[in-house]
Structure 1
Amino acid sequence: MHCSSQPDSTWKLERSLGSSESSYYLPSRANGVNDMYLHLGFIAPEHVVRRARVRMVWAILRIRHPLLASKVVMHDYDDIRFVFTPPQSPEEALVDADCNLEYKASTKDDLIDSYLNGTRTLSNERLSYLLMSPGGTSLPTPPLTPSSTFESTSDEREYPSYNHDLMICATHFLGDGMALHQFANDFFGLLGSNKTISDLEAQLKEELCSRWGRDSTTTAALPNALEDNFHVDQNRLRRAVEKVDFQLSQQALVGGHAFRRQAKQPRHTIVPTVSYDPERTKEILKKCKARGVSVSAALFAVCNIAWAKMCSEKQDLPMMMYSALNLRPYFTVKPANDSYWFLAVGYFNVILPTFIPRSIDISSVFWHRARAAKEQSTRAAKNRMIVSRSLLMAEERGQRARLWAKEDDERERGTFVPPPPPAMVTDTAPRAPSAALIGLSLLGNLDGIYKHGAFPPIKLHTLTTGSRQRSGGMLLFGYTFAGKLWISLGYDVNGFEKVMVDQFWENVLHTTDELLLK
């Protein structure tokens, strides 16, 4: 298939970051706060993970999802842009993919630790990156030249299989967990297909031509920012009602508990992880179903009971946890691009009592709170104001991020002047505390996303995900993958009182064993 080169070799696509994207981008500039990673451990023959094949698949997907291959240019705090320059040829697409792909002989734990705690991997010029740690004997890869790039390296003979590790890295302002997992499934779908290098070459040429060829210059577009995926009613009365609703919903967030912080030390994130074998996972799922709740709702209750068991003060105040909400189902504007790589998350909170009644069986308390978590989660997702609340929260977070970024830059230049103290306000009712104890990233059944049967040579067996944190960051992950329930706690080990976090994590595991398994 012949595809004409672009009429203008400097052709670029740009769009401004929305408020939600900016709220993630600006804090990430210094040290990569919120840069995401997804680790997948898998078994496959060596020829499947040869660099020539991996970079071909990586190139196809970067063509399909242009934000992965974009750069970010910041002109001002409210003028930050994605800039995508389409490759002029398949060879150029492969060079770009190869520059953002690294083969590294490391263990899973070393890969994750280096990404979370070492020098930042990503940057304004590199918004995504692949790390592959292949097992077995390393195989030669043909040099990246036009004459050998598309040379077939496929061999139909039977190969022994080895364990390999893959890390997919991407900035959080580029997308979210849903994008990351859908991408991983598509990546393995191509990598583990029966397509030869020549087949993949033909697909790369075709997709480059159809998406970014000469005929596409007037219709090509980058995926929308979150805010542009909704029809917004400009009626002033409605806007005023939405703002009042948003303020009232924020005032209803009451939480009086937080982990004690400790003296500032360099941030160091660790991710203790446990998995439950398929049989025990089936028992947990069966028990949750019988009680009318999901595992996600049960994990809110697990954290609640784990904290309540060790909490000796402020038991009259509730415990608040937050979690993310996928906003894709609420879109009312047709996407400008068929890519799923974009940011589309809102947030909701679950508030539960802290005390444990002595007169009631602990199991009854647990399942009652799991049902309460389910009701609050459902109420948040089905609230008729969910879109306006999410957009106003994104706007507020964006404004806050711009103010803090400007202050950080001025402090670094030595030009910061503190603002005057706010005027005293009298007769104001004291506000209830609104501290969140912990965030929960509840990904659900990931085996619904990963079509394991679509890539027969590859057997996925391990999944770990998270992000680079700010000092004092903490997030609990819960998901089902490869038939197993996984629970992990990513936190800054130097940011909290160690005994307290250790006790909480021990209580989480004990509560899961005691109330979800027995």
Structure 2
Amino acid sequence: MTNATGSLLTPPLTSDEQFNQPNTPIDLSGQTAPKPLLARPLSDSESSYFLPSRENGVNDMYLHIGFHAPKGVAPRERAVLVWAILRMRHPLLMSNVEMRNYDDIQFVLTPPASVAHALEDARNNFDASSRSKDDLIDSFLNGPRTLSNQRLSYLYFSVPDDAGTSLPSPPLTPDPGSAKQIESYVACEWIICATHFLGDGMALHQFANDYFSLFGSSKSDDELVAIIQDEWAMRWKQIPEECSVIPLSMEARFPPVVGGRFRRAVEQIDFARNQEKSIGGHAFPRTSGKSRHTIVPTVPFDATETAKMLKLCKARGVSISSVMFAICNIAWIRLNKGNPELPMMMYSALNMRPYLIANKSLHESYWFLAVGYFNVTLPGFLPSSNVDKTFWHRARSAKDQSSQAAKSRMVVSRSRLMSIERGQRARGWAKEDDTKVNGTWQAPPASNKPKSSKPPSIATLGLSLLGNLDGMYKHSAYPDIQLHSLTTGSRQRPGGMLLFAYTFAGKLWVSFGYDENGFEEDTIQNFWDNVLSGIREFLLV
């Protein structure tokens, strides 16, 4: 099987020999006829992510979690059982995409005809191996595309070939009064991959927690099989026609527009004025001529350092997220690469789920795309003295701008109109890309219009600020498993760049995903060094 560019997809598992435990028996009796196809159109926001992804998987997401598990608690077959259960609960994970034209793109789902079919589907989108985390992530980011229009999600599960090898110091201490003594642990790697038009970071992390809550539970494999059978009987044996099986898009969940023509005019004016505020004139110097190669250097700060930083931020009335805007602002200015008279603009994602009307369908799922966008603009210069005071002032400015974006009465209308604009732009670029591939593209005629006098609107970089992820991961729900590390990112276009910051397992993690062949090497490395030194300078005083 190949994707649209002809590159080989990751081959599905077909042999039971690839698991270190025998297959749990599945009752193949009672096979039913194939279910009818279910479909819904992609929204503008979903299309704006789908269309650029067609050639090489731009924005395909991954979430990696490293964990320690007691020997015998991490069989790969158990991993498949949980994967199958959650795929049935979240229909978009099982769906395909069909594109008829730029305005007619649909999610298409063939419901599993039986429990056996559901398990087979899970196996075909699962990779069991002993590969290292770095190998798996580099392959996903820079190798042939793992996902495709026929494979919107995929799970990697890696355990050592010698699963009996124990860690030098067991990370968990068993209860002395427990009859079950844990003798050794194995180090495992878990990576969920999904297209971005399928969901967002909130979906990824909620899914990971749900996965480990089942995988690390006290339920036996036989009990997991019983759950699979119950899920299929409840959700897929009979599908009510009136039931919206495929989760609705963000746009379909927005509150209805009220107020008629005047209200719509007000929203248009507000949207235009808000866009006019997006002023920025700083950008990293780029290079060309080399193939894209994304790297994601990641630095964790230990629990003691993290606690100290969080305490300081709280005392100053800001969060780590707000602080990271100020850190990046000063890190950039110290490179002396931009015009100090122009402001520096950074963008970030806004979680839109709190603003949506819930879909009360029987098959409700959190797997859908629900993000908006906002900008933070800070000065492009530093005073000659009292930089510490300036830093905290800019962190508070970033907090105020973020709050204004999230709490604005117009947040829904701005997101709705931005989705429409992004969809229109994506369709225009997709048509142009396709004509270039087909050799029919023609450059537009030269324009005699005078150049615009509007100020520049250039974003220096994007920040993905995930907050305290320990609030989403219920570690106590899987006590025999210790989640110890987390990294996340996406396949990028040439010259892509995104900085992540979050707390997980009691530590602050900062990672920088960028195309190392797309920028001046010294500039980007010095910026990253400035970010890390700035964290220590301002937060570990």
Give the TM-score category using the shorter length: over 0.9
Equivalent position to 2:528, from 502, 505, 508: 505
- Provide closer, same or farther for how the CA distance between residues 213 and 159 of structure 1 changes in structure 2, counting only shifts above 3 A: farther
1:370-381 alignment runs, 5 A limit: 370-381=395-406
Out of 461, 467, 471, the residue aligned to residue 494 of structure 2 is 471
Q: Which residue of 2 aligns with 1:435?
A: 458
Deviates more, 1:232-241 or 1:449-458: 232-241
> Relative to structure 1, is the Cα distance of residues 447 and 332 closer, same or farther in structure 2, using a 3 angstrom cutoff?
same
CA contact (8 A) 2:464 2:499 kept: yes
In the alignment, the residues of structure 1 paired with residue 108 and residue 504 of structure 2 have an alpha-carbon distance, to the nearest angstrom, of: 35
CA–CA distance in structure 2, aligned partners of residues 355 and 172 of structure 1:
35
Shift of 1:312: 5.0
Is 1:3–1:209's contact at 8 Å kept on the other side of the alignment?
Answer: no
Kindly tell me: are residues 244 and 8 of structure 1, through their superposed partners in 2, closer, same or farther at Cα, counting changes over 3 Å?
Answer: farther
SS of the residue 1:53 aligns to = helix
User: Which stretch shows the higher mean deviation, 332-341 or 198-207?
Assistant: 332-341
Instruction: Supply the RMSD in Å over aligned alpha carbons.
Output: 1.9
Amino acid at match of 2:333: A
Query: Aligned to 1:349, which of 375, 395, 413?
Result: 375
- Out of 384, 389, 411, the residue aligned to residue 358 of structure 1 is 384
Amino acid corresponding to residue 514 of structure 2 in structure 1? Y
Comparing 486-495 with 221-230, greater Cα deviation is found at 221-230
Whether the 8 Å contact between 1:324 and 1:441 is mirrored in structure 2 is yes
Match of 2:14 in 1: none
Question: Counterpart of 1:233?
Answer: 257
Instruction: Sort the Cα spacing of 1:181 and 1:126 in 2 relative to 1 into closer, same or farther, 3 A.
Output: same
Q: Which residue of 1 aligns with 2:319?
A: 294
Tell me the secondary structure at the aligned position of residue 157 of structure 2: strand
| Residue 401 of structure 1: aligned partner | 426
Q: Contact 1:61–1:187 at 8 Å: present in 2 too?
A: yes
SS at match of 1:444: strand
Q: Deviations over 1:419-476 (max 9, x none)?
A: 3344626xx8601011000100000000000001100111000100000000000000
Cα deviation, 1:41-66, whole Å, max 9, x if unaligned, reads: 00002433212211110000000000
Which structure 2 residues correspond to residues 185-334 of structure 1 after superposition, within 5 A?
A: 185-214=209-238, 216-233=240-257, 235-334=260-359
Taking the TM superposition and a 5 Å limit, the aligned residue runs for 1:26-175 are 26-135=51-160, 137=162, 158=182, 160-175=184-199
CA change 1:111–1:273 in 2 (3 A) is: same
What is the Cα deviation at residue 507 of structure 1? 0.5
Between 278-287 and 220-229, report the one with greater CA deviation.
220-229
From the superposition, tell whether residues 429 and 86 of structure 1 become closer, same or farther in structure 2 (CA, over 3 Å).
closer
> Residue 242 and residue 261 in structure 1: after superposition, are their counterparts in 2 closer, same or farther (change >3 A)?
same
Distance 1:489 1:13, change over 3 A: same
Measure, in 2, the Cα distance between the counterparts of 1:212 and 1:4.
16
Tell me what 2:483 maps to. Answer: 460
Report the Cα distance in structure 1 between the residues aligned to 2:71 and 2:412, rounded to whole angstroms: 47
Q: Offset of 1:306 from its aligned partner?
A: 0.6
Q: Equivalent residue of 2:149, what SS?
A: coil
CA distance, structure 2, for counterparts of residue 486 and residue 447 of structure 1: 12
Equivalent pair of 1:319/1:353 in contact (CA under 8 Å): yes
* Amino acid paired to 2:339: K
Deviation at 1:17?
0.3
C-alpha separation in 1, matches of 2:133 and 2:434: 36
Q: Secondary structure at the match of 1:173?
A: helix
The alpha-carbon distance between structure 1 residues 52 and 320, as it changes in their structure 2 partners (threshold 3 A), is same
Aligned mate of 2:511, from 488, 494, 515:
488
Opposite residue 384 of structure 2, the aligned amino acid is R
CA contact (8 A) 2:34 2:112 kept: no
Q: 1:146 aligns to what?
A: none
Task: Show structure 1 runs of 5+ residues with no match.
Answer: 140-155
Q: Report Cα offsets for 1:152-201 as digits up to 9, x if no partner.
A: xxxx8856211011111000000000000000000000000000111111
Counterpart AA for 1:362: V
Identity of aligned residues (%): 56
SS of 2:465's equivalent in the other structure is strand
- 1:68–1:128: 8 Å Cα contact kept in structure 2? yes
**1:341 shift after superposition:** 0.4
| Secondary structure at the counterpart of residue 126 of structure 1 | coil
Contact 1:261 1:496 in 2 (8 A): yes
Alpha-carbon offset, residue 348 of structure 1: 0.4
- Note if contact 2:462-2:498 (Cα within 8 Å) is conserved in structure 1: yes
- TM-superposed deviation, 1:366: 0.5
- The one-letter code matched in structure 1 to 2:459 is A
What residue number does 1:148 align with? none
* Amino acid aligned to 2:502: Y
Secondary structure (helix, strand or coil) at the match of 1:437 reads strand
Letter in 2 for 1:342: F
List runs of 5+ in structure 2 lacking aligned partners.
1-26, 165-179
Separation in 1 of the partners of 2:432 and 2:338? 36
Aligned length: 498
Q: Deviations over 1:90-127 (max 9, x none)?
A: 11111100111101222111111111000000000100
Tell me the amino acid that sits aligned with residue 381 of structure 2: F
CA distance in 2, matches of 1:387, 1:466: 26
Q: Shift in Å at residue 3 of structure 1?
A: 13
**Which deviates more from structure 2 when the two are superposed, residues 438-447 or residues 101-110?**
101-110
Counterpart-to-counterpart distance in 2, 1:335 and 1:433 = 44
Distance 1:49 1:216 in 2: 37
Aligned residue identity for 1:352: L
CA distance in 2, matches of 1:56, 1:197: 8
Indicate whether 1:21 and 2:21 are aligned. Answer: no
CA gap 1:179/1:312 in 2 versus in 1, 3 angstroms: closer
Q: Distance in 2 between matches of 1:158 and 1:277?
A: 26
Q: CA deviation at 1:315?
A: 0.2
Q: In 1, distance between residues paired with 2:391 and 2:74?
A: 46
Which position in structure 2 is the counterpart of 1:144?
none
Paired with 2:504 and 2:255, the residues of 1 have a C-alpha distance of: 36
Deviation at 1:313, TM superposition (A): 4.0
CA distance in 2, matches of 1:222, 1:157: 45
| Structure 2 equivalent of residue 338 of structure 1 | 364
Distance in 1 (CA, whole Å) between partners of 2:77 and 2:254 is 41
* 8 A Cα contact 1:55 1:101, kept in partner: yes
In structure 1, C-alpha distance between the alignment counterparts of 2:469 and 2:519, rounded to whole Å: 31
Secondary structure of the equivalent of 2:255?
coil
Q: Secondary structure at the match of 1:83?
A: strand
In structure 1, C-alpha distance between the alignment counterparts of 2:332 and 2:101, rounded to whole Å: 43
Distance in 1, matches of 2:287 and 2:61, equals 26
| Most deviating of 7-16 and 247-256 | 7-16
**TM-score, normalised by the number of residues in structure 2:** 0.89
Per the alignment, in what secondary structure is the counterpart of residue 261 of structure 1? coil
